[in-house]
Structure 1
Amino acid sequence: MLCSHNGRTDMARLTLLFIAILMVTQVTSVHLSFAHFLYELEGMQWALRQHWFTETVMHTGVRHLNSVLVASLLLLFGRDCIRYGWTPRTQNRGLLILSVLTSFGLIAYLKTVTQLDCPWDLVEFGGTRPYYGLFQLKPSFIEAGKCFPAGHASIGFAWIALYFYWRERKPKRAMIALVTSLTVGFGLGFIQQLRGAHFFIDDITSAFIALWVATIFFNIVNRKPSEAKTYA
């Protein structure tokens, strides 16, 4: 469990692994090489950028679906607060909401701070801007990008919080939620890569942020085991 001592050790190891992956991509530019592979595969253009499936269904449609899910979760939380008051049930659901929304918000904020470009913005991929890495200072006269970390992939990754929400009471459901959120996140991220909207490191970064956010929120409150199993 990520809330245990061993869990903290696991998170420390994951953090070191993430930092290593980030450094390797910046030093070797392997993320650029993979983007070049996809770009060449599509005929030296981002042929899927405005495709009805990748743009209308998997981008716009999925965003709307996620908005419905978040709104539904907020309504359930409000209903529980009115019906049960502040109980372990509402508390846990509140942590779920905070984790999901914080993941979305933090990733969106970092996109404005890092100012990195999408592949489709870069000269080597048919765009107009030169490439600048994460640790390179971007001149102020060059328009700021908003493509790191990956926002769309966070629609899947933010729901990693469901793993923590269910892990004590329904461990099997928790594992399904974890696998599903990672699969959806990386799936949506890859579709965005096919559109030229992101590099793969953008998706890995969003996954790590969402995992850390959920870990922090669900480690704030220590519930008694007997309380943790009394609600669905």
Structure 2
Amino acid sequence: MSPRQSFYLTHLGLPLLLALVVFVAFDLTGLDRWFSQLFIDSASGQFTLLHDAWFEKVTHKWPRILPNWTGEAALIGALLSFVWPLFARHPQAAATRLLQRSRIAGVLRFTTRHRCDLLFVVVAFALCTAIIHYLKSHTGVYCPVETTFYGGTHPRLEWYQQFDLLHKAGDGRCWPGGHASSGFTLMALYFVARRWRWAHARKLLGFIVLLGMVYGTTRVMQGWHYMSHTFWAGIFVWLTCLPTALCFYGRTALQAPLKAPLELPAIPLHANAMPASLRPE
């Protein structure tokens, strides 16, 4: 198998296979409702954590800080990346010399060096948000607590039952999971790590996937989403970040072997094991 085939099999084939599995296992069965039933109060028939203000704050409002600040930092950094080249054209100017003596110069040089990465994160975040909002409005799926199954007024419909490519399908805005997708958008950082061949890129991806799953599952516990909505959010975010990263970096850069982690030299346990030049006199 060629490197190109291997790359697309791993980065595109596996997500598409996962999409098929989620569709068959969740969308065509009652597995979603089975998961949701785990969080229902048997006495009231309602989701136990639906109106828990503390749980809402800790699992929904506070976690948004991480992806929001990441996107804002990338946007600010991308704008700053155009500042240093303006000063660099005039190295003898008083303003340039003053800037070079400050710590700000290091920040500006950093943003300039990583301009492509910062722009990629900004574009990837924007496209992921746009795709998720498009799918929400063009499928019109209502959240579990809004359906007649759990005391709501709307029927439960699957996304494929009323998907409309060009027009809004209805007032529902529940598929795929929006809160989960905000965590999954951090997948853009994985592609930056791959581009720089960071040794811990896969661990970073694993953490982001876990984070997105936690974001989504907490909303399932409150009745605002089904479990499959979380999986779909991750799939669509990945399928948005991947072509965006290919446009910015190219497949070869993303497929380059990761650098081995730095290893510190072992410290001898006995002074006799030290090189003569390092032994105390």
- Which secondary structure state, in structure 2, belongs to the residue aligned with residue 116 of structure 1? coil
Q: Deviations over 1:111-160 (max 9, x none)?
A: 1111001110111112121211223249xxx9621000000011110011
188-197 vs 31-40, greater mean Cα deviation:
31-40
Q: Which residue of 2 aligns with 1:94?
A: 119
Provide TM-score, normalisation by structure 1: 0.84
Task: Using the aligned pairs only, state the percent identity.
Answer: 21
| 1:183 Cα deviation after fit | 1.2
How many residues align? The count is: 222
Q: Which residue of 1 aligns with 2:134?
A: 109
Question: In structure 2, do the counterparts of structure 1 residues 216 and 42 end up closer, same or farther at CA, with 3 Å as the change threshold?
Answer: farther
Separation of aligned partners in 2, 1:68 and 1:42 = 41
| 1:166 Cα deviation after fit | 0.8
Separation of aligned partners in 1, 2:124 and 2:49 = 32
Tell whether the 8 Å contact from 2:139 to 2:160 is kept in structure 1 after alignment: no
Separation of aligned partners in 1, 2:75 and 2:43 = 41
In angstroms, what is the RMSD of aligned CA positions?
2.8
1:30 aligns with 2:31: yes
Q: Which residue of 2 aligns with 1:208?
A: 235
- Which secondary structure state, in structure 2, belongs to the residue aligned with residue 50 of structure 1? coil
Question: In structure 2, do the counterparts of structure 1 residues 166 and 4 end up closer, same or farther at CA, with 3 Å as the change threshold?
Answer: farther
Q: How does 1:52-91 map to 2 (within 5 A)?
A: 52-84=53-85, 89-91=114-116
| 1:87 Cα deviation after fit | 6.8
- Which secondary structure state, in structure 1, belongs to the residue aligned with residue 48 of structure 2? coil
Separation of aligned partners in 1, 2:112 and 2:243 = 20
Point out the structure with max Rg over C-alpha.
2
Separation of aligned partners in 1, 2:71 and 2:117 = 15
1:7 aligns with 2:32: no
Q: Which residue of 2 aligns with 1:152?
A: 179
Tell whether the 8 Å contact from 2:75 to 2:122 is kept in structure 1 after alignment: yes
Q: Which residue of 2 aligns with 1:136?
A: 161
Provide TM-score, normalisation by structure 2: 0.70
Tell whether the 8 Å contact from 1:156 to 1:185 is kept in structure 2 after alignment: yes
202-211 vs 91-100, greater mean Cα deviation:
91-100
Separation of aligned partners in 2, 1:105 and 1:42 = 40
1:195 aligns with 2:222: yes
Kindly report structure 1 stretches of 4+ aligned residues shifted beyond 4 Å: 40-43, 84-88, 222-225
Separation of aligned partners in 2, 1:197 and 1:216 = 30
